[in-house]
Amino acid sequence: MFQMGVLRTNCIDCLDRTNVAQYAYGLAALGHQLNALGVIDNPKIDLDVPLADDLMGFYERMGDTLAHQYGGSAAHNKVILACIADVISSLITTSVFL
């Protein structure tokens, strides 16, 4: 399986929401990559598994790093996975990965 394209996201209206969108697509892409490598049997990674939490941690640290670079402080609104599960599920089910 070869890469067939590139996903680009623009800043939506705030760094936190942009980060959520990137996380949703990143989680979907990671699931497909791990499935293609034979690491997992199903390309969908559930939101309640430790791998999803680890990936969220990466995106939170990236958001804080960018916020420090551009605004001098950490991101103001921390993304809480339980509150955005519906948004993420919707983005994943409508994504080009399915």
pTM of the model: 0.66
- Residue holding tokens 């697509």? 25
pLDDT tens-digit map of 24-74? 888 998 999 999 999 999 999 998 899 998 998 888 887 778 778 877 777
Distance separating alpha carbons of residues 32 and 95, to the nearest angstrom: 12
Contact between residue 89 and residue 25 where contact means Cβ atoms under 8 Å apart: no
Q: Please say if the pLDDT value at position 77 is more than 80.
A: no
Q: Which residues contact 97 (CB under 8 A, 6 or more apart)?
A: 25, 28, 29, 31, 32, 43
What confidence category does residue 82 fall into, taking pLDDT thresholds of 50, 70 and 90?
very low
